[in-house]
Amino acid sequence: MKKVTLLSIYFAFALSSYAQGFKSMDYGISLTPYLKDYLSITNATGNHLLYSKPVVSGELSIFYELPFKSNLGLRLAAGIAYDPQNMGFKETEFQLPDNVLTSSSFNDTEYSLFNKYVFPISLFKRLPLEKHTQNIEVGLKWNKFLNYPYGSEGSLTESNNTLVFFSRMESIHSNSTFLSYFTKLGLVKSIKKHQLLVNLVVNYSPHHIAEGNFNFYHLKNGSSGGKLKQNLNFIGIELAYSLPTLK
């Protein structure tokens, strides 16, 4: 991991040092809302026990562009990300005991604000069109998790008595840092001296960002347990606003 990161940084500075033909270096801010892949929750036989759904997540970053020959360029960025999880409790087929008020509320989604740093580096190609400019981009991203919901439990309360019916314990897989890969396709619109970029973003991670175990208790149709896994595959829309460097 360290070798790949160091090679990426070296690649960035090497390209910038040999860059020719550009008149300015752009910087800006980028917001990328996305739908992250669902949380995988399976029992020992591989059957899905809960119906987790993709959750709206997002990244906010600042970027710095290094344009060079043939409408090519390099983008360096740094930002923060918000990655909640959906557990799928609300559509579970497990039956709670008769003496529990099923109308009681419980949290279906784990929320953790600004729980990841992201450092993307990408190579882009700008293709002039009649009214806009097309943007094609490929890159890799270094992800650093700050915190993650290591453990949680679901419970229902009746007459001041709390009955736990679900518990989970998970840990970040292998390490809290890992690489993911992405590609972007979109349009660039020039507004006076500024630029507005809209990209479709597809992100792929070969690693599970977290793995763990879960258990159900006190259910009419018996207790049950299994494994859970979370990856970081997603599709999103990037909205970026760039400004020319002041001279």
What is the rounded CA–CA span in Å between residue 227 and residue 43? Answer: 6
Determine the pLDDT at residue 93: 54
Most confident of 2-16, 24-38, 160-174: 24-38
Show the tokens assigned to 131: 């009214």
Q: How confident is the model over 188-207, as a mean pLDDT?
A: 88
What is the rounded CA–CA span in Å between residue 163 and residue 159? Answer: 11
CA distances from 81 to 60, 91, 146 (A): 6, 27, 10
Of the two residues 41 and 123, the one the predictor is more confident about is 123
Predicted confidence (pLDDT) at residue 46 exceeds the cutoff of 70: yes
What is the rounded CA–CA span in Å between residue 45 and residue 216? Answer: 16
Q: How confident is the model over 149-156, as a mean pLDDT?
A: 61
Determine the pLDDT at residue 15: 42
* DSSP-based three-state secondary structure for 229: strand
Q: How confident is the model over 60-69, as a mean pLDDT?
A: 91
Dmax over CA atoms of the chain, in Å, equals: 75
What are the phi and psi torsion angles at 17 (to 5°)? -70, -30
Dihedral through CA 116, CA 119, CA 123, CA 126, nearest 10? 70
Determine the pLDDT at residue 30: 96
Nearest Cα to Cα of residue 166 among 111, 226, 208? 226
Predicted confidence (pLDDT) at residue 24 exceeds the cutoff of 70: no
Total domain count, the chain:
1
Full-model pTM: 0.74
What is the rounded CA–CA span in Å between residue 84 and residue 107? Answer: 12
* DSSP-based three-state secondary structure for 167: strand
Determine the pLDDT at residue 48: 73
Domain range enclosing 201? 2-244
Cβ atoms 6, 181 nearer than 8 A: no
Predicted confidence (pLDDT) at residue 123 exceeds the cutoff of 60: yes
Burial class (CB in 10 A: 0-12, 13-18, 19+), 126: middle
- CATH number of the domain residue 138 falls in: 2.40.160.20
- The strand pair at 224-230 and 40-43 is best described as antiparallel
Determine the pLDDT at residue 112: 62
Determine the pLDDT at residue 110: 64
Q: How confident is the model at residue 105 (pLDDT cuts 50, 70, 90)?
A: very low
